[in-house]
């Protein structure tokens, strides 16, 4: 975990700084200066653009991670890999844009009754998806070069600062809502331009075609891999977007605004997980290339334990403080308290299942992930169709929890059966027990009138009890090692150094 630990720490710092800005934007500014339908519109446009960009990439982001190590030779411009990848992405965007334009009548049919504002801003999705598509492609290219810091800093901090400026302009009535949306879209395109400039700065922006025998050797398998990984990428996107899209269609934009806001709060839990993923994905690809199963198994177990430790702390911090968090928002949002609970639980389960997805999609059995994704799509849509009419946005959250749990269970079983690897150790069980115990203790703390004091008291108790127990019993060597390296306090010494 050495290289992953060092890089993921930096990414996590950027991610949490960005999360603080994200909270400021989404919890304070958006909810207090935008109407519920306007909040729903912005978040739904984001979700559609994510879906759009994933399809338009034609699997190129995953192809870059999986196959770039075979092309990596700077003196030969990486055999033209960036140029041909860019050609694929550009073709995918043009194709998806044509389809998107022709799909507008179908979109109108589903959203005109309950969410007409979405139709008015339908075409704004195109430039929004364009910026996201090229940002993600350049980010995946930089990840293969193990240059992840600037991309994360750009997305998490610069991107959110641009949003902050835009919403403040609207709050001060210097711009109207239409111009707010225009600036919001343009801000996302700026992020892609920053990565383009950074890639050029690294002297890695090779956009000229290069003839290479390596493409002849890998082309067929890359095309097949790309086709199958499109579905893999769509699976994660569906989890983020399909429920909110169905809420907007079945209910209205106001409910979608509430749902997407609490969904974003729950997403804060995944920040350390996402940081580890960004580094682990190309490392796992290299393990497959080198046939280092011991290294992969070790990474699988350690990363899962770290994710459970950090996920448990964040789950406790958010759920035990959720009443106070809602006090910073209009009263309409408080009705989503248990919607948040099920979404947060879903995120914890997703973190606790480790890196199973990356092990599958970078292996020779990557095609199997297609069937898992098809199951995910069918299960998610079916459960939302059943539960949203019955329970509203709470039903959407329950559907998300069930689909994520079943999906990850199937992938865990597959990795265990195929490669004789599973990520859980006895220490994972102890982390779970500590999480439940701290939850029970903090629940006994009486509600304090001052919301700032209440959050401070609960967060302090959670941090002391939970972190103290995990570090004292040395459940995760990597966590103890990290704290010890920064503090040099003997109490935090990892087990193997005692």
Model pLDDT, residue 498: 44
Domain shared by 419 and 439, yes or no: no
Distance CA 105, CA 126 (A): 16
43: number of CA atoms within 13 Å, CB side? 35
**pLDDT mean over 251-272:** 88
Model pLDDT, residue 224: 76
Domain shared by 331 and 434, yes or no: no
Among 404, 424, 444, identify where a domain stops.
Answer: 424
462 contacts: CB under 8 Å, gap ≥ 6: 313, 316, 317, 320, 438, 442
Domain shared by 355 and 214, yes or no: yes
Using the predicted structure, report yes or no on whether residue 497 has a pLDDT greater than 60: no
Domain shared by 42 and 54, yes or no: yes
Domain shared by 450 and 317, yes or no: no
DSSP summary character for residue 492 = G
Give the model's confidence band at 390: pLDDT under 50 very low, under 70 low, under 90 confident, else very high. very high
Contact between 125 and 52 (Cβ < 8 Å): yes
Using the predicted structure, report yes or no on whether residue 211 has a pLDDT greater than 80: no
Give the pLDDT confidence of 26-71 residue by residue, as tens digits.
888 999 999 999 999 999 998 889 888 888 888 877 777 777 676 6
**Between the ranges 193-202, 269-278, 375-384, 392-401, where is the mean pLDDT highest?**
392-401
DSSP summary character for residue 448 = P
**pLDDT mean over 412-435:** 92
The enclosing H or E element of 108 equals: helix 104-111
Domain shared by 417 and 493, yes or no: no
Is the pTM higher than 0.95?
Answer: no
Give the pLDDT confidence of 337-355 residue by residue, as tens digits.
999 999 999 999 988 886 8
Residue with the larger pLDDT of the pair 53 and 13: 53
Model pLDDT, residue 9: 59
Task: Give the DSSP per-residue string, 217-241.
Answer: HHHHHHHHHHHHHHHHHHHHHHHHH
Using the predicted structure, report yes or no on whether residue 400 has a pLDDT greater than 80: yes
Give the model's confidence band at 157: pLDDT under 50 very low, under 70 low, under 90 confident, else very high. confident
Using the predicted structure, report yes or no on whether residue 433 has a pLDDT greater than 60: yes
- State the residue range of the domain holding 462: 425-498
Domain shared by 301 and 200, yes or no: yes
Model pLDDT, residue 321: 94
Kindly list the distances between the CA atom of residue 52 and the CA atoms of 37, 143, 323, 365, 379, in Å, as whole numbers in the listed order.
22, 22, 35, 26, 21
Rounded to 5 degrees, what are φ and ψ at 68?
-55, -35
Of 36, 24, 28, give the one whose Cα is nearest residue 256: 36
296-300, 369-373, 410-414, 466-470 — which is least confidently predicted? 369-373
Among 393, 424, 455, identify where a domain stops.
Answer: 424
Domain shared by 243 and 145, yes or no: yes
Kindly list the distances between the CA atom of residue 13 and the CA atoms of 144, 163, 286, in Å, as whole numbers in the listed order.
21, 20, 26
Give the pLDDT confidence of 462-485 residue by residue, as tens digits.
999 999 898 888 888 877 777 767
Domain shared by 433 and 339, yes or no: no
Question: What is the tally of structural domains in the chain?
Answer: 2
Three-state DSSP class for residue 447: coil
22-26, 47-51, 268-272 — which is least confidently predicted? 268-272
Using the predicted structure, report yes or no on whether residue 496 has a pLDDT greater than 60: no
Give the model's confidence band at 488: pLDDT under 50 very low, under 70 low, under 90 confident, else very high. low
Domain shared by 391 and 439, yes or no: no
* Joined tokens for residue 388: 């949203």
Domain shared by 344 and 446, yes or no: no
**pLDDT mean over 419-441:** 93
Give the model's confidence band at 223: pLDDT under 50 very low, under 70 low, under 90 confident, else very high. confident
Among 424, 441, 461, identify where a domain stops.
Answer: 424
Using the predicted structure, report yes or no on whether residue 241 has a pLDDT greater than 70: yes
Contact between 379 and 403 (Cβ < 8 Å): yes
**pLDDT mean over 149-154:** 78
DSSP summary character for residue 27 = I
Model pLDDT, residue 3: 47
Task: Give the DSSP per-residue string, 135-169.
Answer: HHHHHHHHHHTT--HHHHHIIIIIHHHHHHHHHHH
Domain shared by 35 and 182, yes or no: yes
């Amino acid at each position: 975990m050495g290289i992953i630990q060092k890089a993921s720490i930096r990414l996590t710092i950027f991610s949490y700084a960005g999360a603080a800005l994200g909270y400021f934007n989404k919890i304070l500014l958006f909810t207090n200066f935008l109407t519920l339908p306007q909040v729903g519109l912005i978040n739904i446009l984001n979700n559609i653009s994510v879906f759009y960009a994933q399809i338009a990439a034609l699997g190129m982001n995953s192809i870059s991670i999986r196959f770039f190590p075979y092309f990596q030779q700077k003196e030969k411009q990486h055999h033209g890999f960036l140029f041909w990848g860019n050609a694929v992405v550009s073709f995918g965007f043009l194709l998806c844009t044509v389809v998107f334009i022709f799909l507008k009548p179908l979109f109108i049919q589903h959203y005109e009754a309950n969410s007409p504002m979405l139709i008015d801003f339908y075409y704004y999705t195109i430039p929004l998806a364009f910026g996201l598509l090229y940002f993600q492609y350049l980010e995946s290219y930089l990840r293969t070069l193990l240059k992840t810091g600037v991309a994360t800093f750009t997305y998490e901090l610069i991107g959110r600062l641009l949003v902050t400026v835009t919403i403040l302009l609207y709050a001060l009535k210097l711009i109207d809502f239409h111009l707010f949306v225009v600036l919001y879209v343009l801000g996302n395109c700026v992020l892609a331009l920053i990565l383009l400039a950074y890639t050029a700065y690294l002297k890695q922006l090779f956009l000229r075609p290069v003839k290479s025998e390596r493409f002849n050797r890998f082309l067929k398998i890359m095309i097949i891999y790309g086709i199958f990984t499109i579905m893999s990428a769509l699976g994660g996107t569906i989890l983020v977007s399909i429920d909110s899209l169905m809420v907007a269609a079945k209910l209205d934009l106001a409910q979608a605004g509430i749902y997407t806001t609490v969904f974003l709060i729950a997403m804060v839990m995944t920040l350390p997980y996402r940081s580890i993923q960004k580094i682990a994905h190309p490392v796992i690809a290299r393990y497959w290339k080198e046939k280092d199963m011991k290294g992969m198994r070790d990474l699988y177990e350690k990363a899962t334990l770290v994710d459970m430790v950090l996920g448990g702390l964040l789950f406790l911090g958010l759920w035990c403080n959720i009443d106070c968090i809602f006090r910073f928002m209009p009263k309409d949002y408080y009705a989503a308290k248990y919607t948040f609970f099920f979404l947060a639980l879903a995120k914890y389960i997703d973190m606790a299942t480790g890196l199973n997805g990356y092990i599958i999609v970078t292996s020779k059995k990557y095609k199997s992930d297609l069937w898992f994704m098809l199951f995910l799509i069918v299960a998610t849509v079916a459960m939302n169709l059943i539960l949203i009419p019955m329970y509203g946005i709470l039903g959407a959250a329950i559907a998300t929890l069930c689909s994520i749990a079943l999906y990850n269970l199937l992938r865990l079983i597959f990795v265990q059966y195929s490669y004789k690897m599973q990520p859980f150790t006895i220490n994972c069980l102890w982390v779970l027990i500590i999480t439940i115990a701290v939850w029970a203790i903090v629940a006994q703390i009486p509600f304090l009138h001052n919301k700032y004091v209440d959050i401070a008291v609960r967060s302090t108790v959670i941090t002391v009890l939970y972190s103290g127990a995990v570090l004292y019993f040395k459940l995760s060597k990597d966590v103890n090692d990290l704290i010890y390296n920064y503090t040099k306090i003997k109490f935090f010494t990892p087990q193997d150094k005692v």
